[in-house]
Structure 1
Amino acid sequence: MSLQSFLWDYGEKVPGYDITVVNEREARAAAGILGVMGTIIIFVGIGFNHTMVARIYLAFLWVDFTLRMISPKYVPSLLLGRFFVQNQKPEYVGGLQKRFAWTIGWFISLPMVWWFVLHWEITFYKVLICVLCASLMFLESAFSICVGCMIYKVITRKNAEYCPGGVCELRKKDPVQTFNPLQKVITALAMLGLIVGTYVFLAYEQPKTFFGEFLHEAVLTKAQLKKEKDEAYQKQLEKEFGDD
């Protein structure tokens, strides 16, 4: 394989396509598998302080993305995805833009290896990197939204070909894809409800695990956190000396 072929012929050559491509169904399945595994491991590893399982997963994630940058043919998660969608009709997308997106994933996973695999040091901002990675995988698996592919288009300033979901092809939306005014209101209220509900739960529900306490303190301001600690201290004093 020549250097030029390695750089520009990423993916598979499929009849009818003038560029090398990747099966998006396989990629989405792999993103879903990694996302579910990551979510479970975050709760098990951080919530119950079983650090080894989290370290193994994050090391695997980094190796997986490293292999993706080289070739998609022998990547464990993509092969698992292929196993589950092998009977579905392939949806081909441009290979280079997927490689660019997965390279971004590699750069995101790299500091996680240092922070959590080699040195287990948890802070709120470090965990946000994990959340970012999981969010990107969720967007790809659930909605076929490849953020890296969008960035690729902006950087190269070229019209990318064969994008996930066919978003590269300019076309008029079908009526079933549009929102009437009432649907817009319902959608906005649903989004607002998710955001507010998540914040209220994290801010006011009494945490029962280390991870819950971590999230609880993360959403509070310094003033709120100080007030909460002062109130807890006052209750403790009343409990100990209330009868005196």
Structure 2
Amino acid sequence: MTSIFQFGERRPEYEVPVLNEREVRAGAGILLLVAGTAFLKAWYLGDFGLTRIVVVAFFVEFALRVLVNPAFAPSLIIGRFFVRNQKPDFVGAPQKQFAWAIGLLMATLMIYLVVLNDVRGPINLLICLACIGFLFFETAFGICIGCSVYNLFNREKAQLCPGGACEIHQRQDIQRVSPAQLAALTMFIALLGGIVLAMPGSAARSISTPGLDSVAEAERCRVPAFAIAIGHAEKWKLHNNCR
């Protein structure tokens, strides 16, 4: 039976408490979606209301994970529901506890800065970007950056890392990136860059030109009736690069 206050599950076949990595990555994906939405709203609209709510939610989330029991953390409960039909992938809990303690520290700082003092500046930005970066690496690549830091401060190294990363000492051929793959990636990036530069309204092509036909520009930026009818006039102008 699971105790209310515990971190990870004890299983006889493992030396350390474990967590289900599938559940952890699902929870990270949920938090990434929420954090990214709040960040973009604050960045583009200057509205920090959602950010404050998300900061409080993150604080509660990581406080439950670290100080009570990860089993009661909301994102992990939702994640468990969605991956319940997948075979568990057990990973070591100690390094996750250390990583999530870093998350709790970051959330506590944001509570002080954003919620209690309404501070807006580079410190908030750096913390938000770091948080989003940690969540992205966990979700996309299964790489726990905080877990890597764990090895720097603990004599006993992390065990049962995702994908067996703690035990891998020599990569197989399928794990290596070949020159041909690098060339394909480079060509793909170059292709996208060319498309961006060729698109109307791109930064390289949208520099104002003296003598531009203001009448034609005014006609182009005439807000259509449907946008006005739904109260979307200003957003339509924004999306069509009109002022």
TM > 0.5 fold call: yes
58-67 or 117-126, larger mean C-alpha shift: 117-126
Deviation for aligned residue 1:184 = 3.4
Q: For the residues of structure 1 that align with 2:61 and 2:191, how far apart are their CA atoms?
A: 36
Task: Pick closer, same or farther for the CA change 1:46–1:149 going to 2, 3 Å.
Answer: same
The match for 1:34 is: 31
Misfit runs of 4+, over 3 Å = 184-195
Letter in 2 for 1:104: I
Cα deviation 1:184-218 (Å, max 9, x = unaligned) = 344567789999x99xxxxx949xxxxxxxxxxxx
Q: Helix, strand or coil: the match of 1:22?
A: strand
Structure 1: which 5+ runs fail to align? Answer: 1-5, 199-203, 207-231, 236-244
The match for 1:18 is: 15
Q: What is the aligned residue count?
A: 199
The match for 1:97 is: 95
Output aligned runs, 1:73-222, within 5 Å. 73-187=71-185, 205=203
Q: Helix, strand or coil: the match of 1:18?
A: coil
The match for 2:234 is: none
**RMSD value over aligned CA atoms?**
3.1
Letter in 1 for 2:29: G
Q: For the residues of structure 2 that align with 1:111 and 1:89, how far apart are their CA atoms?
A: 37
Cα deviation 1:126-157 (Å, max 9, x = unaligned) = 21210100110110011000011111112113
Q: Helix, strand or coil: the match of 2:91?
A: strand
Letter in 1 for 2:151: K
Identity of aligned residues (%): 37
Q: For the residues of structure 1 that align with 2:16 and 2:114, how far apart are their CA atoms?
A: 38
Q: Helix, strand or coil: the match of 1:11?
A: coil
TM-score by length of 1: 0.71
TM-score by length of 2: 0.71
Letter in 2 for 1:61: F
Q: For the residues of structure 1 that align with 2:18 and 2:189, how far apart are their CA atoms?
A: 35
Q: Higher Cα Rg: structure 1 or 2?
A: 2
Q: For the residues of structure 2 that align with 1:189 and 1:161, how far apart are their CA atoms?
A: 39
Task: Pick closer, same or farther for the CA change 1:192–1:91 going to 2, 3 Å.
Answer: farther
Task: Pick closer, same or farther for the CA change 1:169–1:72 going to 2, 3 Å.
Answer: same
Q: For the residues of structure 2 that align with 1:69 and 1:192, how far apart are their CA atoms?
A: 44
Structure 2: which 5+ runs fail to align? Answer: 197-201, 211-243
Q: For the residues of structure 2 that align with 1:190 and 1:163, how far apart are their CA atoms?
A: 32
175-184 or 71-80, larger mean C-alpha shift: 175-184
